[in-house]
Homo-oligomer: A and B are copies of this chain.
Amino acid sequence: MTEGTVAGEQLRSFVERIENLEADKKVVTDDIKELYSAAKQNGFDPKTIRKVIAYRKQKKADREEQQMLLDTYLHALGELADTPLGSAAVRREFETAA
């Protein structure tokens, strides 16, 4: 796998593409840091902002997990969910369970 071979060129391509993406990533990371700094300059505690973002992120994750649970219910109940009435019933069941 020396220079100039097909494999070598492929490797080079992978490496360069990854390096480019890492550069992009660094830009974004730096932007985020700048925002935190700016927020701090405006009197907001960065740590608190992180808490807020973490909280929102988790809430979103919780919602998605609940959705997965609902899907589990739906699948477990099979065909029933295929009819509007059945679906509504299952949904009602889920709401009371949650």
Contact = CB atoms under 8 A, between A and B. Distances in A.
Point out which of A14, A17, A25, A49 has the most chain B C-beta atoms below 10 A from its C-beta: A14
Nearest to A34: B21
Contacts of A29: 25
A94 interface: no
A3 to B, nearest CB: 13
For this chain, the copies found in one complex come to 4
Interface residues of A, number: 27
A35 interface: yes
A29 B24 CA distance: 10
Interface in A2-61: 7, 10-11, 14-15, 17-19, 21-22, 24-25, 28-29, 31-32, 35-36, 38-39, 42-44, 49, 52-53, 56
